[in-house]
Structure 1
């Protein structure tokens, strides 16, 4: 029997998962930590989506921003990016390009637009799903091999690791990451947990964007409440950035919001000091339990690139100028106010 290789259709790029094995000591330890995490935290829980914007780059898509809670926030970020690009173009004497970029920024002030081609460059609002691994005692904390070189106190906040990340489904990945992609890609929202439209959109995404790319791991703060763990703060680029967020809550925000008495404030302050001194990933104070947790991020991809916001994604605010106009009509803003 002969085999005609010419009749075998190639695998579409967005469905490729290229796995490679690395023999260096760091990779070996990282893989060991990943396998241990699967045993200790065998379940995967969805946290919800985040949004950002990306630019088509040499046949791929490059992330400009990611981490916004609503699609409109990402559109606002893209508008700000266009304004910066317009200034750069104007500074170099390219008035035509500057005008086109400013027109795109002004359009985003008024319209809900998730994709634009501006100055011969293609931009898109993107969404990524967030997950954390769960075990019997809650969500997975940082692993020993996770980069954690920041000093405490937030004096030098690090940039998001996703900034500039190129979404390439064909890029080689470690064995554990390849298996994690296979684990995450089929996941959809359970019908009992979400509205019908949300589940329907997650099922549709399996068809329109069946591939996926893992983004750099980020870290967030979760709190145990009533036997369940709930996200408390948005994810950041490193374990220390999550600790700094929690310490700031203990020192500044918590005492004001909760109107703590001096003794309670002192307990919160000691918890913040412990986070700074010990770089610990879990702390209990005033009967509350907090943990720094790992957040895995997956961006779904299809034949035409990364997934955009879904119709059912929570998006409570209109574009900025539309919102301002509504406030003027309601008498909240003066009609002549900028």
Structure 2
């Protein structure tokens, strides 16, 4: 059995789920779906009994206290504390340079919801087996709607008999017409930002396509320091790391890109409407978290941390109360919440 190392990336300011998510406690550390926070749920879906090694967390100093407080097993978890955010290519490189070359990394964002954990683990094992063979593997989320807010992967030729495929090409966020074409073709998947790499393969490809990132991260690791389970890369060296996503830096350039299609009730919980879709709803499509009374309503989401909210005769509405802030928006408007002055100046 392949021992898979979950590498959990934990960052961001959480402005798209304002006012519940704020800089001091962003989305990963909130119990948005069920009683478990998104971060804790990410770690818990990779248990030892299913072939996963203890996780490695990559986070910033501002999130360190939340990470350590919410870790299910703090004693066996290694934490890399980034001096500053330099995007996902650098974060993954930090983890890779802290692991053996033959280790298989399963890179997981800390703020996604996955409803079918068994399907996730099945896809992870398929992806890990491909990673051992030298592939850089993306989870291709089988699309359920013509989403324009996600990147897409076009399925290429099959690889072996494992239900995996080469990635023929990466497609940036499309307009609605193209997204509808992608959905009807059956050849495209959402790029969910979950990856499996063999450490040595990833470092080789990063050095091949973005040597400046690899060299700068390597220097920061070499000059870093340990503090128990924490590792602090050198801050001065890390400032020289170019900031680029792993998609742009590696995945769109490598000739070893593969994908494993995954149907696992996935959501990036990217805004309030995405959260509404991930929650259990009544027969009218309404979902409530907190004290609320809804009369003659449909497709309404109410989230309140205290005050009772009453809604009558409304459809397609989102109401969020958090402390002294109240947000009211439509499902379409949810994608612009992060642009509000309250979210930007929190």
Please report the TM-score for the alignment, with normalisation by the length of structure 2. Answer: 0.26
Please give the TM-score of this superposition, normalised by the length of structure 1: 0.26
Higher RCO, 1 or 2 (CA under 8 Å, sep at least 6)? 1
State which structure, 1 or 2, has the greater radius of gyration over its C-alpha atoms: 1
Larger relative helix fraction: 1
